[in-house]
Chain A
């Protein structure tokens, strides 16, 4: 099993097995009749599961991030995926988690590669979001029934995600053959699943995003959270900010995203 897993995962497996399949198996202590049985139909047949596994998982991933995969290009995407399989691979029993596992692994590598467009990682994270929020195990919880209070944390719908991008990737056309560049523009999105199970996107101002980062992600109590959110922007917590926070809460409550105080 270890030898077959290595043939499926290792980056050099196709080359190593083609060159010396017996030597490849010997590395895993597989020799004699066991090696003969594995190689009975030739070394390329030994690689069939590698082809099947990569094709299946890569296709599932491409389905979740079609525009990113198209912009990356066919062969580079295949190579990225092979490297992901070799260095990390999936640890989730759910096939629908594989695209997210791949994106989490590949984005830092894409960002470190100056030859790639800087927005590619943001586009991947953005495309992935639709599936992630659509299928999030949380979401659809009932309102807490408690009114907002300064000393209590807020409760948000379990499908809620806060995203920050360096590029306005959310405004790119949906066509997979589109190659236009997104605006280099700091972008903050609140994403959630509504009562009809549709994924909804809200563009946030820097202030609203800072509030959501401390309250929804950081779980701070409301009063303290607002101070921390203002500090994070290096700005005072003035009446204008309080009024805008109140408007944000009203809109989010209206949309069923803010469920009340804990």
Chain B
């Protein structure tokens, strides 16, 4: 599958109920490049929320990032969910749809969380086949996101980046690269995040996530999206953008959500780092062309 070129680049924000009204009123106009939405918050739903989103979609490009596809689950896909999702993606004209390398339910029960998958070839084959099926059902390209994981779900046959690469290649899909999740995992499981990054094919990166997290225990941080982005995570973002060039970067915030103005200041800080990295990428390109 070719890399879907939507033309969306720059730093955007994950849209949340806490500030959707302010965004609708125009308080983010000119301050973000686009918005990322969780379709589940608007699917199968009437009233104000979908109305607000429709108004916002008139002014901003929308990227779709789902929570409940449960790609790693052995359960069959939920037909109703896919029908609603396909309709939603058409409505906001999303250039692609992403969901997580995880499972969220089993035996018909949904646990509403991003649960870890085993890093095995069997699991990669299963997920890749589901990604292909999802692309067919949705009629759009899919991207998969690397998640934060706190347990190895059984004896791994490979490390996480090798597993991610295997899924990407078998599914021939895009990567929704979450640099915070790599940082969280590196810190919890003791590996070098840059070695992780060096293993994945950056040409498959269609979009990035950046977020903050919280310390839970001495040896465990949890990906709460409840804090400011850390310096080390900014550095990782810059490292990637320097190599990929301009991509859409989303700031995610899901708990302890500050006022929109504060989030927009953080978007501006991310944008400074992002623009500098794009500048370095452009100089590299120039060198490559002329040299």
Instruction: Verify B155–A49 contact, CB threshold 8 A.
Output: no
Instruction: Verify B112–A52 contact, CB threshold 8 A.
Output: no
Instruction: Verify B151–A134 contact, CB threshold 8 A.
Output: no
Instruction: Verify A135–B112 contact, CB threshold 8 A.
Output: no
Can you show 22 pairs from A to B with CB atoms below 8 A apart?
Answer: A1-B115, A5-B106, A5-B109, A9-B109, A37-B154, A40-B152, A48-B220, A49-B113, A49-B115, A52-B113, A53-B112, A56-B113, A90-B111, A92-B110, A93-B81, A95-B67, A134-B47, A136-B46, A137-B46, A140-B46, A193-B47, A197-B51
**Closest A-B pairs by Cβ, 6 of them:** A33-B155, A34-B154, A197-B48, A93-B68, A37-B152, A89-B109
Residue from A36, A91, A136 in contact with B155 in the complex, judged by beta carbons closer than 8 Å: A36
Instruction: Verify B103–A139 contact, CB threshold 8 A.
Output: no
**Per-position 1/0 for B44-74, Cβ under 8 A of A:** 1111110100000000000000011000111
Give every chain B residue within 8 A of A65 (Cβ-Cβ).
none
Q: Interface residues of B, CB < 8 Å — how many?
A: 39
By a beta-carbon cutoff of 8 Å, the part of chain A in contact with chain B is 1-2, 4-5, 8-9, 30, 32-34, 36-38, 40-41, 45-46, 48-49, 52-53, 56-57, 89-96, 98, 134-140, 158-159, 193, 197
Give every chain B residue within 8 A of A159 (Cβ-Cβ).
46-47
A5 to B41, CA, bound (A): 24
Q: Is B197 an interface residue (CB 8 A)?
A: no
Beyond A5-B106, A95-B112, A158-B46: 20 further Cβ-contacts under 8 Å?
A: A1-B73, A1-B103, A2-B107, A5-B109, A8-B111, A9-B109, A32-B155, A34-B154, A37-B153, A38-B153, A41-B151, A45-B150, A48-B150, A49-B151, A90-B111, A93-B68, A93-B110, A96-B45, A136-B47, A139-B47
Give every chain B residue within 8 A of A30 (Cβ-Cβ).
154
Residue of B nearest to A93 (CB): B68
Residue of B nearest to A30 (CB): B154
By a beta-carbon cutoff of 8 Å, the part of chain B in contact with chain A is 40-41, 43-49, 51, 67-68, 72-74, 78, 81, 103, 106-113, 115-116, 150-156, 216, 219-220, 222
A234 to B116, CA, bound (A): 59
Residue of B nearest to A159 (CB): B46
User: In the complex, how many residue pairs between chain A and chain B have their CB atoms under 8 Å apart?
Assistant: 109
Which of B74, B111, B216, B222 has the largest count of A CB atoms less than 10 A from its CB?
Answer: B111
Instruction: Verify B40–A94 contact, CB threshold 8 A.
Output: yes
Give every chain A residue within 8 A of B51 (Cβ-Cβ).
197
Instruction: Verify A4–B153 contact, CB threshold 8 A.
Output: yes
Give every chain B residue within 8 A of A134 (Cβ-Cβ).
47-48
A8 to B46, CA, bound (A): 32
Distance (Å) between the CB of A180 and the closest chain B CB? 31
A146 to B207, CA, bound (A): 51
Distance (Å) between the CB of B10 and the closest chain A CB? 29
Dominant SS at the B interface? loop
Instruction: Verify A1–B153 contact, CB threshold 8 A.
Output: yes
Residue from B49, B111, B153 in contact with A89 in the complex, judged by beta carbons closer than 8 Å: B111
Residue from B74, B78, B150, B156 in contact with A93 in the complex, judged by beta carbons closer than 8 Å: B78
Give every chain A residue within 8 A of B152 (Cβ-Cβ).
37-38, 40
A172 to B127, CA, bound (A): 50
Instruction: Verify B46–A46 contact, CB threshold 8 A.
Output: no
A169 to B62, CA, bound (A): 42
A34 to B154, CA, bound (A): 4
Distance (Å) between the CB of A196 and the closest chain B CB? 9
Instruction: Verify A38–B111 contact, CB threshold 8 A.
Output: no
Distance (Å) between the CB of A35 and the closest chain B CB? 8
Give every chain B residue within 8 A of A2 (Cβ-Cβ).
106-107
Give every chain A residue within 8 A of B72 (Cβ-Cβ).
1
Instruction: Verify B45–A137 contact, CB threshold 8 A.
Output: yes
A136 to B156, CA, bound (A): 44
Residue from A41, A48, A49, A91 in contact with B110 in the complex, judged by beta carbons closer than 8 Å: A91
Distance (Å) between the CB of A200 and the closest chain B CB? 13
Give every chain B residue within 8 A of A89 (Cβ-Cβ).
109-111
A139 to B68, CA, bound (A): 25
Instruction: Verify B109–A135 contact, CB threshold 8 A.
Output: no
Are A93 and B115 CB-contacts (below 8 A) given A40-B152, A135-B49?
A: no
Instruction: Verify A49–B150 contact, CB threshold 8 A.
Output: yes
Give every chain B residue within 8 A of A34 (Cβ-Cβ).
154-155
Residue from A45, A94, A98 in contact with B151 in the complex, judged by beta carbons closer than 8 Å: A45
A163 to B249, CA, bound (A): 46
Are A1 and B43 CB-contacts (below 8 A) given A48-B151, A93-B81, A197-B51?
A: no
Distance (Å) between the CB of A199 and the closest chain B CB? 9
Are A1 and B112 CB-contacts (below 8 A) given A93-B68, A135-B49, A197-B48?
A: no
Residue from B47, B112, B156, B216 in contact with A37 in the complex, judged by beta carbons closer than 8 Å: B156
Are A135 and B45 CB-contacts (below 8 A) given A1-B103, A1-B106, A56-B112?
A: yes
A91 to B105, CA, bound (A): 9
A32 to B155, CA, bound (A): 9
